[in-house]
Amino acid sequence: MPIVEIKITDENVTAVQKNRLVSGATQLMVDVLGKDPATTFVLISEISTVDWGIGGVSVAELRRGASTSLDI
């Protein structure tokens, strides 16, 4: 019973996109590990950009223009 957890920022991800993530992650487990899709769980967690940090700076702040070499 594999569990795949996907964490994304909460920025207008549609139900269709989430369904594609669930389907794609499930298929990946089938293709790579031979897992049964009926017992493969996929969890999607949406994280606020103020709760997600990189290099000591929140993603929200990075997107407001803080200088960084990361392409977020």
Contact 57, 66 (CB under 8 A): yes
Specify if 72 maps to a domain: no
**CB proximity list for 58: less than 8 A, separation 6 or greater:** 49, 50, 51, 52
2 belongs to the catalytic site: yes
31-to-4, 17, 28, 36, 41 alpha-carbon distances in Å: 14, 21, 5, 10, 15
pLDDT at position 72: 55
pLDDT by residue (tens digit) across 15-46? 999 999 999 999 999 999 999 999 999 999 99
- Say if pTM beats, i.e. exceeds, 0.85: no
Query: What CATH number is attached to the domain comprising 29?
Result: 3.30.429.10
Domain count of the chain? 1
Catalytic residue among 1, 2, 17, 47: 2
pLDDT range class, residue 6, cuts 50, 70, 90: very high
Specify if 55 maps to a domain: yes
